[in-house]
Chains A and B, each alone.
Chain A
Amino acid sequence: MSALLEATEKALELLISGDEALWQIIAISFKVSGSAILIATPPALLIAFALAYLRFPGRRVLVSLFSTLLSVPAVVVGLTLYLLLSNRGPLGDWRLLFTQSAMVLGQIALAFPILVAMGHAALQSADKRAWETARTLGASPLRAFFVVIRETRFGLLAALLAAYGRIIAEVGASMMLGGNILNYTRNIPTAIALETSKGEFAQGIALGAILLLLAFTLNGLLHYVQGKGVQTS
């Protein structure tokens, strides 16, 4: 028990004193996951929109495909991308293995199904008349698309936060694709795994606290936003 308390105390100290190594790890985490979300969101939204509003053959198959992809473990995504990106793999010439870009790719692959599936659910539940009205009033399809996006923004934001929450806390793919390189591809989850294996629990706890705080903030935001959504719609 006293060991736990001692480690927690040290963790707080690390956080408060602005330990540089610690904050570097946190910055890398946010950079990688932020980039992944920014890149994944626009195409994922378009696909979600197509699934919700267009009728085309294979639509149902695609919907269930993305729902299935939701449950693919991160390590499987990591392994698949590792084999693709390895110098021996088909994409080896890109020279991306053990870089931040590889981690971003892995996290995009993890975030994408969440964005599509949750985005699809949100868009589907929206009032179809928004789209029809906008079109009747002479809005271009693009314009009408943004009208619908605005109408469903709460559901879409929920999708965004859920996807972000998954990738910022993900360890398997990041470890395999990034290689856990100090000051480069060591993010919060891989650092926690490493520090735990080294018996340096204080830093692990400090980083875990950051993740918890983040999860709490994201969830709070989510509830707040969803609550607002009910009131306005």
Chain B
Amino acid sequence: MTCRNIFVRIFSLFLLTLSALQFAVAQAGEPQQVIRLATTTSTDNSGLLQALLPYFEKGNGYKVHVIAVGTGKALRMGRDGDVDVVLVHARKAEDEFVREGFGERRFSVMYNDFVLVGPAGYPAGVRDSRDAGDAFRKIARHEALFISRSDDSGTHKKELGLWKKAGIKPEGKWYREAGQGMGKVLQMAGELSAYTLTDRGTWLAYREKLPLRIAFEGDPLLFNPYGIIAVNPEVHPHINHEGAMALIRWMTGKEGQARIAAFTLHGQQLFKPDAKADEVALLKP
């Protein structure tokens, strides 16, 4: 009998905690309209969106659900109508997304650049490269370890483009395809003393924790612009188009642009605001 009592007591305690937690979460949860934003790991892992979005949410009464994946996956989610708006960085893929009618229109938001990072000893003499192609050729020729994102992200697309420009088909034991987000790949490069290509934003966010240095930077080919695109409501009528446009208006507007410019990490600006006046003019309600 006592055993049964104990059993009942433990079980009801379990249920009680459960329902208390349910209540606590319900209190915190979802009153306003939700905007689903698919974006790249670079905007999320760097902390930019967490710094920006609370201001937007407070001023507009929306709640933004950020789903951070690679650019390829983010565009795929937009194509399937699983999100309302995408913030990505792969210009060619973005234009295609709009041309095929899945996205409404691309708006420039901000930019930074890609940098080639690697171990402090700069194996293969990459540091003295003339341009990005030269640096990549040196890595391949000396078979210096290189970690590729290999996840169809914007950074991965850029990296593949650079190999192509360098006239190299990257393969072999030195070329490791990780299939992971930017932060994870930077960590792997740090652990394995390897080179990798990263956007400057994520690099600055991780730099202090890594034994890596910038091995090459500054080639115009490494320009990295970000665009925001609302999913076309004619293709997917159920999406929150109004919310998506409100977010785009805010990000490309005065406040969003100022907040992007003001976002720093360890005293360094991560992204440069880049909204175009002629594009923004189209947004006036």
Contacts and interface: CB of A to CB of B under 8 A. Distances in A.
A87 interface: yes
Contacts of A180: 67-68
B10 interface: yes
B7 A197 contact: no
A225 B187 contact: no
A30 interface: yes
Interface string B28-66: 111000001000000001000010000000000000011
A98 B65 contact: yes
Given A98-B36, A180-B67, A197 B28 contact: no
B65 A232 contact: no
B179 interface: no
A180 to B, nearest CB: 7
A27 interface: yes
Nearest to B239: A87
A88 B17 CA distance: 38
B7 A228 contact: yes
A145 interface: no
Interface string A8-34: 000000000000000010011011001
Interface residues of B, number: 35
A197 B67 contact: no
A181 B65 CA distance: 6
Interface in B257-284: none
Contacts of A98: 36, 65, 67, 82-83
Given A31-B22, A87-B81, A199 B66 contact: no
B227 to A, nearest CB: 21
Nearest to A88: B80
A112 B80 CA distance: 29
A183 B34 CA distance: 13
A60 interface: no
A157 B181 CA distance: 40
B183 A198 contact: yes
B1 to A, nearest CB: 10
Interface of B: 3, 6-7, 10-11, 17-18, 21-22, 24-25, 28-30, 36, 45, 50, 65-68, 80-83, 180-181, 183-184, 187, 206, 209-210, 236, 238
Interface of A: 24, 27-28, 30-31, 34-35, 38, 86-88, 92, 95, 97-98, 153, 157, 179-185, 196-199, 221, 225, 228, 231-232
Given A30-B17, A30-B18, A225-B7, 10 more contacts: A27-B25, A34-B22, A38-B18, A88-B81, A157-B7, A181-B65, A181-B67, A185-B65, A199-B206, A199-B210
